[in-house]
């Protein structure tokens, strides 16, 4: 599923969507920890904790996808548009509340006003934005969205035209957008998803550690983050008392 949105020379990479702000979030959390009695500060701490949690989770899951299906990962990591320009693909795994359109995954589609082949997202020119809700099959959903990206980036102008002609009804369910029987992006998404399923099955059958449920990974990271925060608070309190 993807979402319709109605400016750097791209390096052409799959990038953690939280990457640009993670240093700020970590610094903010450290500075706020010493002021936890203030209600507003507590809320800001929770926001910083959640940001760091989902940054770490996105890093972990992108790494797992790359290990399970390196060839598929590389196709998106090196993807180019119709003009041969590398395009960055920003990925975020997010809580359910982050996507409010009744779907579990989105890939934006937009272009420059003066260049119909140049992809554009909230990350700037020559970028795509992908969001995936955390659940048991999040990696499979990522493969599905990568399939949309695989088709849309090199065929953006033609696909924007197709989309505008076939999805005019704004009452249409969000999970139907991009998935009409004759939709080439939807077909690409299904193919990519099936290819990932095959690679995942081979990975599981080989003497490898089984991929963990993304929800369990999130919970493990959350526990580690809480321990780090507790340790940080103890250190700060000790410093103050001394």
Work out the average pLDDT over 186-209. 92
Residue 61 near residue 214, CB atoms below 8 Å: yes
Q: What is the pLDDT of residue 173?
A: 55
Q: What is the pLDDT of residue 22?
A: 86
Higher pLDDT, 139 or 96: 139
Q: Could you tell me the pTM of the whole model?
A: 0.80
Percent of the chain at pLDDT above 70?
81
Report in angstroms the alpha-carbon separations of 237 from 26, 31, 38, 39, 149: 19, 13, 16, 19, 49
The sheet that has 111-112: what strands, in order across it? 111-112, 115-121, 124-125
Work out the average pLDDT over 62-69. 96
Percent of the chain at pLDDT above 90?
55
């Amino acid at each position: 599923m993807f979402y319709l949105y109605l400016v750097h020379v791209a390096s052409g990479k799959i990038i953690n969507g939280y990457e640009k702000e993670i240093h700020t979030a970590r610094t903010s959390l450290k500075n706020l920890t010493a002021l936890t009695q203030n209600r507003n500060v507590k809320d800001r701490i929770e926001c910083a904790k959640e940001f760091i949690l989902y940054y770490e989770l996105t890093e972990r899951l992108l790494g797992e996808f790359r290990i399970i299906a390196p060839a598929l990962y590389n196709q998106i990591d090196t993807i180019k548009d119709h003009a041969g320009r590398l395009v960055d693909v920003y990925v975020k795994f997010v809580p359910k509340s982050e996507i409010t359109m009744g779907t579990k995954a989105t890939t934006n589609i937009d272009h420059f006003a003066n260049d119909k082949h140049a992809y554009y997202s909230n990350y700037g020119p020559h970028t795509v934005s992908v969001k995936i809700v955390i659940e048991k099959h999040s990696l499979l959903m990522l493969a599905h969205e990568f399939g949309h990206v695989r088709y849309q980036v090199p065929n953006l102008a033609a696909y924007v035209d197709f989309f505008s002609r076939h999805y005019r009804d704004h009452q249409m369910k969000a999970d139907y957008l991009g998935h009409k029987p004759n939709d080439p992006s939807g077909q690409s998404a299904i193919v990519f998803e099936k290819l990932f399923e095959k690679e995942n099955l081979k990975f599981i059958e080989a003497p490898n550690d089984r991929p963990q449920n993304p929800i369990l990974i999130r919970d493990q990271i959350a526990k580690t983050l809480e321990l780090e925060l507790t340790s940080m608070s103890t250190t700060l309190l000790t410093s103050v008392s001394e």
